[in-house]
Amino acid sequence: MAILFIVLSGMLVLLVIAKIISDAYSAAELRELKEQWNDIKVGGTFNNVGLDFANRQLAKYNSDQLASCDVEIAKYQELKASQEKEKAELEVKAEEKAVADNAEMDKYEAARAKRASLPGVKLGMSEKQVINKTSWGAPTDVNTTITASGKREQWVYGEHGGYLYFTNGILTAIQN
């Protein structure tokens, strides 16, 4: 009975496609078709009214119209298969990107943890010492001022939310 249901469902799809190809349904025809389709299905099985309807509908169309439906169905199935393949490829690419992003995040977290284990800054340190031997590391931005007494720099740290001030390459002030 389940096979018959599947076969007749497929036939009904062919009939609808054939009807669409030959001429458009009117609103009344669509309502009638919907009612007849509901009569076909009764708890997942077919009743006699549904079988009669399917046979009457099949008798209305010639073999050329039905063959045309087969072509349209084949085109639809090909398009659907292509879309499913494309979707699968996109999912693979998204997964690969997620793995790469996770690896990049792991590297960042490892570098951050290593830097956090280093000591803080102390007045009198050189720029090189601050970058290589402290938890502060390199700044996110540097503002430089040249005056008659020398070069002054403000190092901006976005992640610390602080600032380091250097005069002629030596740390002279810390602002948290």
Tokens of 175: 């602002």
Residue 172 has pLDDT above 90, yes or no: yes
Q: For residue 129, name the pLDDT band (cuts at 50, 70, 90).
A: very high
Mean pLDDT throughout 157-174?
Answer: 90
d(CA 84, CA 87): 5
What order of strands is seen across the sheet that includes strand 162-167? 141-147, 150-157, 162-167, 170-175
Distance (Å) of CA 121 to CA 37, 117, 132, 170: 79, 13, 11, 12
Bridge partners, 45 (sequence order): 42
The model's pTM is: 0.41
Mean pLDDT throughout 153-176?
Answer: 91
Q: For residue 167, name the pLDDT band (cuts at 50, 70, 90).
A: very high
Are 53 and 34 in contact, with CB atoms under 8 Å apart? no
d(CA 66, CA 69): 5
Question: What's the pLDDT tens digit per position in 3-43?
Answer: 555 555 666 666 666 565 555 555 566 566 666 655 555 55
Tokens of 53: 């309807």
Q: For residue 155, name the pLDDT band (cuts at 50, 70, 90).
A: very high
d(CA 94, CA 21): 40
Question: What's the pLDDT tens digit per position in 78-96?
Answer: 888 888 899 999 999 999 9
Tokens of 25: 């349904």
Residue 148 has pLDDT above 80, yes or no: yes
pLDDT winner (highest mean) among 39-43, 112-116, 150-154: 150-154
Are 171 and 130 in contact, with CB atoms under 8 Å apart? yes
Question: What's the pLDDT tens digit per position in 34-86?
Answer: 666 555 555 555 555 555 666 666 666 666 666 666 777 778 788 888 888 99
Strands 141-147 and 45-46: unpaired
14 Cβ partners below 8 Å, 6+ apart? 66, 69, 70, 73
Higher-scoring residue by pLDDT: 110, 16: 110
Q: What is the DSSP string of 123-160?
A: TT-BHHHHHHHSSS-S-SEEEEEEETTEEEEEEEETTT
Return the pLDDT at 86. 92
Strands 41-42 and 150-157: unpaired
